[in-house]
């Protein structure tokens, strides 16, 4: 018995590429007094990312372009920048999700000292992070060979804030942080939340006392910029509100 198989129709394999104009805000502290916009035309495919465009510019057009990136897969958080006025990770922003009928504007995140091109000094950000003591502090050690047990409900209580990758997208999208360099910022509060509500931790009150400060949680104006900017989908504004509530209640 023979079976006739019809020829499959030819499939169009070619994917159309587009010439996209990128306006990159450049700054070289050795020669520039102010940042300036420089345009680059880059051939891109819809599934390419803004990071691919930056690679193309640096590798093929202008090797002096400076930006940070590491894993290129949305895990390290090092390539946070402003893309068309919104904080994003360059490695997660696809060309097909942008309006390429107009130039794509790329610049460094705001609120942190600009070092060169798309690179900012992250030390003020990490100083605030360290100040909230973002590590487990338990007064007693578990029995030998045992672990600190936790219920599923206890773990879920802070699950959302464990997702933070310290990209600074939330903090540098905050208008309070832009104008007040002393404000802890959303990311520091998110990382404090992760341990404040961890049932295994014994120093939640210490962190609440740190954040119950004029530059702590009470500086938040609930604009939701931070939640919108988070590439990990953390409900940042909600976490800050929960820390505020814990401060008022005197504990978690």
Each residue of 27-74: pLDDT tens digit? 999 999 999 999 999 999 999 999 999 999 999 999 999 999 999 999
Long-range contact pairs involving 92-98 (C-beta distance under 8 Å, separation at least 24)? 92/49, 92/231, 93/49, 93/50, 93/51, 94/46, 94/47, 94/48, 94/49, 95/18, 95/20, 95/44, 95/45, 95/46, 95/47, 95/48, 95/49, 95/50, 95/53, 96/46, 96/47, 98/50
In 3-state terms, what secondary structure has residue 249?
helix
Percent of the chain scoring above 90 in pLDDT: 86
pLDDT over 70 (residue 3)? no
Q: Could you tell me which residue, 196 or 181, shows the higher pLDDT?
A: 196
Nearest one of 17, 21, 15, 16 to 101, comparing CA atoms: 21
- Angle 43-49-54 from CA coordinates, rounded to 5°: 65
What's the pTM value of the predicted model, to 2 decimals?
0.89
Question: Looking at 8-12, 94-98, 184-188, 219-223, which range is the least confident one?
Answer: 8-12
Q: Give me the pLDDT at residue 112, please.
A: 97
> What pLDDT digit, counting tens, does each position of 239-249 carry?
999 999 999 99
Overall average pLDDT of the 168-173 stretch = 98
What residues have CB less than 8 Å from 215, skipping those under 6 apart? 180, 182, 183, 184
CA 83 to chain centre: 13
Q: Encoding tokens for residue 116?
A: 């060169």
DSSP 8-class letter at 96: G
Nearest one of 228, 231, 155, 237 to 189, comparing CA atoms: 237
- Please name the residue that has the structure tokens 């938040």: 220
Could you give the C-alpha distances from 37 to 23, 40, 164, 211, in angstroms and in order?
Answer: 6, 10, 31, 39
Q: What is the mean pLDDT of the chain?
A: 93
In 3-state terms, what secondary structure has residue 115?
strand
pLDDT over 90 (residue 131)? yes
The Cα–Cα gap between 224 and 135 comes to 26
Q: Residue 146 — very low, low, confident or very high, per pLDDT cuts 50/70/90? A: confident
Q: Give me the pLDDT at residue 5, please.
A: 44
Could you give the C-alpha distances from 215 to 77, 169, 209, in angstroms and in order?
Answer: 25, 19, 12
Domains of the chain: 18-120 (3.10.20.30), 123-138+151-249 (1.10.1060.10)
Overall average pLDDT of the 131-150 stretch = 90
In 3-state terms, what secondary structure has residue 146?
coil
Overall average pLDDT of the 22-27 stretch = 98
């Amino acid at each position: 018995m023979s079976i006739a198989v019809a020829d499959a129709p030819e499939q169009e394999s070619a994917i159309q590429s587009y010439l996209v104009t990128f306006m990159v805000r450049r700054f070289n502290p050795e020669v520039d007094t102010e940042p300036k916009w420089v345009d680059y035309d880059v051939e891109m495919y819809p599934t390419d990312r803004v990071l691919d465009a930056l690679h193309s510019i640096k590798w093929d057009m202008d090797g002096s372009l400076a930006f940070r990136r590491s894993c290129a897969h949305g895990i390290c958080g090092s390539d946070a920048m402003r893309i068309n006025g919104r904080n994003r990770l360059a490695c997660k922003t696809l060309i097909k999700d942008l309006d390429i009928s107009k130039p794509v504007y790329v610049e460094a995140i705001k609120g942190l000292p600009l070092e060169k091109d798309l690179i900012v000094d992250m030390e003020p950000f990490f100083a605030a992070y360290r100040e909230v003591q973002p590590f487990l502090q338990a007064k007693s050690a578990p029995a030998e060979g045992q672990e600190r047990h936790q219920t599923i409900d206890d773990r879920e209580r802070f699950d959302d804030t464990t997702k933070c990758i310290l990209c600074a997208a939330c903090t540098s999208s905050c208008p309070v942080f832009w104008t007040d360099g002393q404000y802890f910022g959303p990311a520091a509060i998110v990382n404090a939340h992760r341990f404040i509500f961890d049932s295994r931790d014994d120093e939640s009150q210490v962190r609440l006392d740190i954040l119950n400060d004029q530059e702590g949680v009470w500086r938040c104006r609930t604009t939701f910029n931070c939640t919108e900017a988070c590439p990990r989908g953390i409900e940042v504004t909600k976490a800050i509100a929960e820390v505020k509530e814990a401060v008022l209640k005197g504990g978690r």
